[in-house]
Amino acid sequence: MIARRAQALTAATGRTIAVTAVSARDRSRNRGVDLASVQWFDDPVALARSGEIDVFVELMGGSEGAAKDAVEAALAAGKHVVTANKALLAHHGAALARAAEEHGVTLAYEASVAGGIPVIKAIREGLAGNEVSRVYGILNGTCNYILSRMEAEGLTFEACLKDAQALGYAEADPTFDVEGFDTAHKLAILTSLAFGVEIDAEGVSVEGISAIQPLDLTMADELGYRIKLLGVAQATAEGIEQRVHPTMVPKASAIAQVMGVTNAVTVDADAVGELTLIGPGAGGEATASAVVADIADVALSSLAPALARPTFGRPVSGLATPRRVEMQRHEGGYYIRLTVHDRTGVAAGVATRMAEANISIESIVQRRSAKAASSDPQGLSGQPVPLVLITYAATEGNVRKALSAIDRDGLLAEAPQLIRIERD
């Protein structure tokens, strides 16, 4: 991309941008570009300290080890750093930003969140005059692909994951993606930018998508929703909620239309209202787009230092310590699927326990198969059947309290399914 856009980049920045050195584990791998004229470093830290470079671009990944050591070395040596490493920033962002400030260099990271979508610049610069109340989005293409396939084709999570791995969308060990940790790292970065607080990756409540069943997607569709894995950061009177979990979103919402490996980020702000950015969240070209944009910004700001931006929108000393809002205090609507014994009084027992926990039920649907309905019209067989509840706004703590009581009553045939609803 740098070679292809060489003239345009020079015209835009007033400087020539060229790759002069590379470090990687495998020197012999065919990378599709001619590296014959490029200096090779076996040690990335040595490259980071090289006097022949202006900018160190880190694309190795990981929160520790070579990536962390090399970025720290580059900043200490007075080199600008461009990175796509969300894990590194989620765990060490404040310390790295402080080092960049101390040495008068830039730490840029557009590619670390939502790939080719310029969401970092949109929040930090484009919305600088806005007060943000909520930022949320689809931040992992693997999960969105799996949920999209499950919905469209009625497939199981396991079958869709296998296909995602065959297509290269999911790793051999997909845990980091499908259990929500990748999304959590990205969300922690967005939270810092949106609310002017220190990154708090440990304060993110995380649930993945591996427990989602085809029935949940069918019920969501019938109820007017789609299920997406969302990362949500929201300012409340108590502090800032940070949560990653499968979420029901209204089918009419912009984010519900985002299918496949595409990412989307929505920002709720006082001046612009709701702003949604949609685009490719991963892949070589999308990531390169964000990386090259950061390199161009660094080139331009090195000629005009006044154009340089603080890493997280304000100096590190100006970032507030976030007040965590624990998940138990979250308040919203819930989809609850209970697998109960098909017998008289079960639904009434469930409703009683919900009422005791101050939970109002918006709708309740009991799903019995056609065969069960014809052979046992009175519902006296005791066979397990799904009972689906949609609640009005309730706290997580009260919902969990009610489910524990229902379980103690012996009404459940298996563990309940709980999916939060994110309404407009």
Residue 31 corresponds to which tokens in the numbers above?
Answer: 């990378």
The 3-state DSSP class for residue 105 equals coil
Phi and psi at residue 180, in whole multiples of 5°? 95, 0
User: What are the distances in angstroms from CA 35 to CA 3, 310, 324?
Assistant: 12, 34, 48
Q: Strand ranges (DSSP E) for 160-250?
A: 205-206, 225-235, 240-250
As a whole number of angstroms, the distance between CA 231 and CA 244 comes to 4
Residue 89 corresponds to which tokens in the numbers above?
Answer: 């920033």
Q: Which positions ≥6 away from 93 have C-beta within 8 Å?
A: 189, 192, 199, 311, 312
Alpha helices in 325-376 (DSSP H): 346-356, 370-375
User: What are the beta bridge partners of residue 249?
Assistant: 226
As a whole number of angstroms, the distance between CA 266 and CA 249 comes to 13
Is-catalytic flag, 186?
Answer: yes
- The amino acid at residue 30 is N
HSE at residue 336, side-chain half, CA atoms within 13 A, is: 31
Phi and psi at residue 203, in whole multiples of 5°? -90, 5
Residue 291 corresponds to which tokens in the numbers above?
Answer: 């990386």
User: What are the beta bridge partners of residue 250?
Assistant: 225
6: left (phi over 0), alpha (psi -120 to 50) or beta: alpha
From the list 68, 186, 228, 401, the catalytic residue is: 186
Instruction: For residue 201, give the nearest of 322, 99, 81, 64 by alpha carbon.
Output: 322
Say how many Å lie between the first and final Cα of the chain, rounded. Answer: 39
As a whole number of angstroms, the distance between CA 303 and CA 406 comes to 66
User: What are the distances in angstroms from CA 102 to CA 41, 50, 283, 288, 309?
Assistant: 27, 19, 33, 28, 14
Burial letters for 260-291: b for 16+ Cβ neighbours within 10 Å, e otherwise? Answer: ebbbbbbbbbeeeeebebbbbbbeeebbbbbb
The 3-state DSSP class for residue 65 equals coil
- The amino acid at residue 340 is V
State the catalytic residues.
186
